[in-house]
Amino acid sequence: MKFYNILIRYRLQIGILLIVIGVIANVFGSFWPAFPAYLVGLILIAGHFFFGPLRVIQEYMEAGDMDGAEKVMNSIKFPNLLYKPIRSVYYTLKGNVAMMKQDFVGAELNMKKGIDLGIPMKEAEGASFLQMGMLNMQKNDFKQAESYIRQAIRKGLPDKENEAAAYLQMCSLMMNKREFRAAKEFFRKAKALKPTTPEIVKQLKDIEKYITRIPG
């Protein structure tokens, strides 16, 4: 696995080296002995531009190394050459990194690009809409936040933690609009999922202290 990651990271350089070896073999020998080097070199170079090092980026993010992930992302000089579904994931990951670094403007810009390109997996698309909703809540644009979070719920979310987070955000939005019946219903849905993420559990406890006392 480590060898594969090294290959992904350096396949452009390896591909160019193989092309050079192919040229030398062609000049001092003939085309057919050089052909394997040409072929493998071209495949590696094409892979670099069409698929990028997304596997390496995801591993850095899973390890919580945002600086490492960003460094690898910055090595992609021509993102428009990436295969469309890969390009969508690239912008989504770039948005995630920006969000973790509190760069909300950059996060929104990149996540929008990912959504517009069409995210391959519906659950991942739902998670992106949820993040967009949370970004707009940070900006106090509650109307747009509600639109994104409703889309996230419709698209489907990858796990009960994300689903509970979406319902809690909707609960907050409904309370802000004084639609208390809807707020209680979203709270009930969030609680029924029995989330375990500490932040979500705390939110549930905080809201539960007063939601039963409001009308609706």
Q: 69 and 105 share a domain?
A: yes
Residues 16 and 64 in one domain: no
Say if residue 82 is in the same domain as residue 109.
yes
Q: Which of 9, 30, 50 is the last residue of a domain?
A: 50
Task: State the Cα–Cα distance between residues 120 and 89, nearest whole angstrom.
Answer: 8
State the residue range of the domain holding 30.
1-50
Query: Is 4 part of a structural domain of the chain?
Result: yes
- pLDDT at residue number 216: 60
One-letter amino acid for residue 145 of the chain: A
Do the domain assignments include residue 201? no
CB 210 within 8 A of CB 183: no
pTM of the full predicted structure?
A: 0.76
pLDDT recorded at residue 104:
83
Domain membership flag for residue 1? yes
Q: How many folded domains does the chain comprise?
A: 2
pLDDT of residue 165: 94
* Domain co-membership, 109 together with 83: yes
Q: Are 66 and 92 members of one domain?
A: yes
Contacts of 142 (CB under 8 A, 6+ apart): 136, 173, 176, 177
In a domain, 211, yes or no: no
Q: Supply the pLDDT for residue 1.
A: 57
105 in the same domain as 88: yes
* Residue 214, pLDDT score: 77
Please check whether residues 75 and 46 belong to one and the same domain: no
Contact assessment for residue 186 and residue 165, using Cβ atoms and an 8 Å cutoff: no
Residue 67 covered by a domain: yes
17 Rama class: left (phi>0) / alpha (psi -120 to 50) / beta: alpha
pLDDT in tens, the chain (216 residues): 577 778 888 899 999 999 999 999 999 999 999 999 999 999 999 999 999 998 888 888 778 788 888 888 988 999 999 999 899 989 988 988 888 888 888 888 999 999 888 876 666 788 889 999 998 998 889 999 999 999 999 989 989 999 999 999 999 999 999 899 999 999 999 999 999 999 999 999 999 888 877 766
* Most distant CA pair in the chain, distance: 87
Domain contains 183: no
Are both 46 and 63 inside the same structural domain? Answer: no
Q: What is the pLDDT of residue 121?
A: 65
